[in-house]
Each structure stands twice: as C-alpha cells, then as structure tokens.
Amino acid sequence: MRVLITGAAGFVGSHVADSLAERGHDTVLLDNLSPKAHGPQPTDTHLVVGDVRDGELLARLLRGVDVVCHQAAVVGHGLDPSDAPDYALHNDYGTAVLLAAMHRVGVRRLVLASSMVVYGEGRYRCPNHGEVRPGPRHPDDLERGRFEPLCPDCGADLTPALVGEDAAIDPRSTYAATKAAQEHLASAWARQTGGAVLALRYHNVYGPRMPRDTPYAGVASLFRSALRRGEAPTVLEDGRQLRDFVHVTDVALANALAVETGETDETGKTGETGETGESAAPSGALTAVNVCSGEPHTVLDMATELASACDGPSPRVVGGARPGDVRHVVADPARARKLLGFTARTPFARGIAEFASAPLRAPAAVTGSV
C-alpha cells in the first residue's frame, strides 16, 4: 500500500517509516523538521520538508495514497501554559487541515497517533464503591507527600486497575487536551465521510532516536541525559507512579499492523475482524486502541534499571509533582491483541539495557520558530 506518514522524521515517525518500508509498503514521508524535536536536519533524500498545515501540499502528496499514518505533533509536557498556542496550532489545526485534504482527495483511512494522556488518571477501584474516578490531586497534598488519589465518595485508599479504551476522556494538561481534540476531530471526520480511524493511544514510549536535552523529551530520555552527565536521575513524587513503558519498535509494529488491518481484499471489502467478530476499523467511526507493553512498572523502576545499565548513580527521589501529572495509568492491552493481533515483543529489562547505549537525537532548540 501507499502510506503518507506525517512527522516521518520524528522519534516515533522515523521508526514507523522504517517498519512500513521493511514490510514492503510504499511510503511518502513528510516532516516540518521542527527545532523543538530535531537537531541537525536528517539526510533522508526521500523526505518532503513541509507542514501538515499546508493544505495544498497535502493535496499533492495524498494522490494515490491508501492510508495516512498521522504522527506529526508537538509532544511532551512542555514548559508551561504559554505553550498552549503552539500545541493547538500544530496538533489540532494541523490535524483539521489534514482531514480536510483527505476529504478533498478521497483518502478514507487514517491511523492516528494518540496518547494515554487523554485518560488523565487511570482506572481505580474503591473497596466500598467499586470503580471510581478520582478528581485532580490537591497541591497541598502533593506538597505534604500525599500522592495517592483517594475515593471521591468516602476517602478510602484506591487500587489502580487496568484502563481500557472505554474509559472516559479526562485530559489534564495542554498536550493531553490537544490529543483528545485530535481524536474528536478525527471521529467527526469519520462520521461525516464514512472514513475509518484507528487511534493508537501510545503509553510511555522509549527507545533509540528519542530527543534529548529538551523539556519536550520523555522521562526515559531525561533520566539517561542525567546519567550521561554523571548525575543521579531525579524522580518526582515517591517514584511509585505506575506506567506502561513500551519500546518504540513495538509502537512502530502496532502502526504497521493498523495500516495492514484495513487493507482492501479482492472483493473490495475493508476492515478485517478480530476473534470476536468485531471490526478493527469500521467505516464511519473512530476505534481507540491502547499501544502498551502490558508490563507495568513504576517510574522508580525505570530510573533504577537505567542507572544500573548505565553504571551510574542511583536515582534521587525528591517528592513534589508537576501540575497536570497523574498518579497511575496502567494499560489494558486486550483490544490491541484482539483487533490488531499486536503483542509487544520487547521485555522491559532488555529494552532498558539496550536504551542505555542507544543513539539519541542531538539537542533540539527549546525556543524558535516551528
């Protein structure tokens, strides 16, 4: 198939491009080479340097394309709310322009890079009230070292549970809000056009080519940069926050399977069905899918494992929390397995050991035009 990949020079996008090419697909690569994500420009001569906000460019690139794999976005926690215009302009307006161009050209299949941040807090169970959704944690509690959310009805301690794709969307940061908006825009587009969208909700992605030395980098990159400087990784809260760390090559595989799941067969039918008969990519709808390892670990686990692999100092747990941070997000991998046949292949220990010496991206600019 012919696949347009936006953000194709980025951390995840470059691995998706590699995976699809290795599986025999014809790829069209687009990236605006934002200085917030890129150091020296890539040397890939097949890369089209352009922007998803350029509708005329997109219309040309979309000719003959079967499916779009939309990775382009401003990512990460950022600096502060002053980042909001950039996030909205690139993530949401850019997605809207892309969807409009797809409609004009007649491309009806989209694989969207979404994120676990749309959930806000994960799923919790109260011993007295069953499943509950805790509200945002109070800054006073965080300052006092009270990090665990409590039952909103009785104040009891909660137990984190697997969060499935049916969980309510509750974004708690600017980035999260823009990713939720991307899903809503894509869902509306699918209903209006009869298109099919697979929204892949990435959990904590790490691996080769992560950007380094930038506030927009993921926690694994921040930890490794500290260790390379001979410093202890700084872990916020008490380090017991649960996350699902998934290797970038597994994320790339999930994208390839999502692209291939909706391939048109000889009868012209699209959208293969899983073992329960549920369509993986039904027309006129958005289907969300967790992309995760299914092997949750604490943030302190990640820092400790990486420090050991780098032969560096042990992590330093400092308390505190960033505004908008959530406590636990533990992913349910069942739908990805059922609909896409996806199971992560990289065990945590092996992935972290390889990441300790993996090439990262050169320092990117914190400020500057995008």
Q: Convert the pLDDT of each residue in 30-67 to its tens digit.
A: 999 987 666 655 556 689 999 999 999 999 999 999 99
Q: What percent of the chain has a predicted confidence (pLDDT) above 90?
A: 79
C-alpha span between 115 and 207 (Å, rounded):
17
Q: Is residue 279 over pLDDT 80?
A: no
Contacts of residues 100-105 at CB distance under 8 Å and 24 or more positions apart, as own/partner, are: 100/55, 101/55, 101/58, 101/59, 101/62, 102/58, 102/62, 102/68, 102/189, 102/193, 102/195, 103/189, 103/192, 103/193, 104/59, 105/59, 105/62, 105/63, 105/65
E-strand spans in 120-224?
A: 123-126, 130-132, 159-163, 196-202, 204-206
Is residue 363 exposed (0-12), middle (13-18) or buried (19+ Cβ within 10 Å)?
middle
pLDDT of amino acid 273 = 45
C-alpha span between 111 and 199 (Å, rounded):
6
Q: Is residue 195 over pLDDT 80?
A: yes
Non-local CB neighbours of 185 within 8 Å, separated by 6+ positions:
92, 95, 96, 99
Q: Is residue 267 over pLDDT 50?
A: no
Any idea which of 113-127, 262-276, 342-356 has the lowest mean pLDDT? 262-276
Q: Where residue 8 falls among pLDDT bands split at 50, 70, 90? A: very high
* Per-residue tokens: 54: 């350029």
pLDDT of amino acid 35 = 73
pLDDT of amino acid 45 = 61
Q: Where residue 280 falls among pLDDT bands split at 50, 70, 90? A: confident
